[in-house]
């Protein structure tokens, strides 16, 4: 059994949920783990590197959500991954990627990268700009199949189509021009105007829904969430209703809670 799978099973074992009762876990922006290496500033929603919190190992299949900021001409040297679905979403700037599969590319704002690490891959990430930092989310999900052949994909998603709309970015099957991964999970982005209610209907009622406010302010149940706050919900029993209190950019993942 891999270390990542053991972490997942242990964390699931330690969570108790009442059947039929919605559970909410808050992840306040200021409570995230912090790393500041000068050239890299990162906030970790879940345990990562030197940040360890036993109650924040993962949210179901969602293992990592890092909010990274890299200075110009700096980046991550070549390092290995295996048996993880890795998604990078560039918010501002550009990110250069090179890997052992022979891929070399630059990911810009509006573009999303997917890498299935599978049986093993090495890669590097670098900010090629002379004067502009890069801001991006790095998201890892446990796969539903281990030791698959590593693969790479990259796509542009029209930011205009995010307006008052859930845009499917990641799916298990590439539906609606989304990118696919080795997991029964979905990732959406959306930009929503103030003073409206937005709904999300889970594909599978057994899944959990993780919502992060990239910018703005929303209310979920009785919880008010602002910039970089997040919430994980399980046992939804129907639609998730989100009240947009200020113009907001949202990130939503639907993931299996048991694998």
Query: Per-residue pLDDT tens for 106-144?
Result: 999 999 999 999 999 999 999 999 999 999 999 999 999
Q: Residue 191: which domain range?
A: 3-255
**Among 9-23, 44-58, 136-150, whose mean pLDDT is lowest?**
9-23
CATH code of residue 19: 2.60.120.10
Phi and psi angles of residue 78, each rounded to the nearest 5 degrees, phi first: -60, 130
Q: What pTM did the predictor assign?
A: 0.92
| Number of domains into which the chain is organized | 1
Cβ atoms 32, 67 nearer than 8 A: yes
Choose among 85, 27, 18: nearest CA to 255.
85
For residue 2, the model assigns a pLDDT of 55
Q: Which residues 6+ apart lie within 8 Å of 37 measured at CB?
A: none
């Amino acid at each position: 059994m891999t270390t990542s799978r053991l972490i997942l099973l242990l964390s699931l074992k330690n969570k108790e949920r009442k059947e039929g009762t919605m559970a909410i876990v808050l992840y306040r922006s200021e409570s995230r783990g912090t790393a500041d290496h000068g050239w890299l500033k990162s906030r970790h929603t879940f345990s990562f590197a030197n940040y360890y919190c036993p109650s924040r190992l993962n949210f179901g299949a969602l293992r990592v959500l890092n909010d990274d900021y890299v200075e110009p001409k700096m980046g991550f040297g070549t390092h290995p991954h295996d048996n993880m679905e890795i998604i990078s979403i560039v918010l501002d700037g550009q990110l250069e990627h090179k890997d052992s599969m022979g891929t070399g590319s630059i990911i810009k704002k509006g573009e999303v990268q997917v890498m299935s690490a599978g049986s093993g891959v090495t890669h590097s990430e670098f900010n090629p700009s002379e004067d502009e930092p890069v801001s991006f989310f790095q998201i890892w999900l446990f796969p539903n199949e281990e030791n698959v052949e590593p693969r790479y994909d990259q796509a542009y998603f029209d930011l205009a189509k995010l307006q008052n709309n859930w845009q499917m970015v990641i799916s298990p099957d590439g539906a609606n021009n989304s990118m696919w991964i080795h997991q029964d999970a979905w990732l959406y982005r959306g930009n929503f105007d103030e003073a409206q209610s937005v709904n999300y209907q889970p594909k599978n009622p057994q899944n959990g829904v993780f919502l992060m406010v990239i910018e703005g302010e929303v209310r979920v149940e009785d919880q008010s969430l602002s910039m970089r706050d997040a919430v994980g919900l399980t046992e939804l029993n129907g639609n998730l209703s989100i009240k947009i209190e200020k113009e907001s950019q949202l990130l939503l993942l639907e993931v299996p809670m048991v694998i």
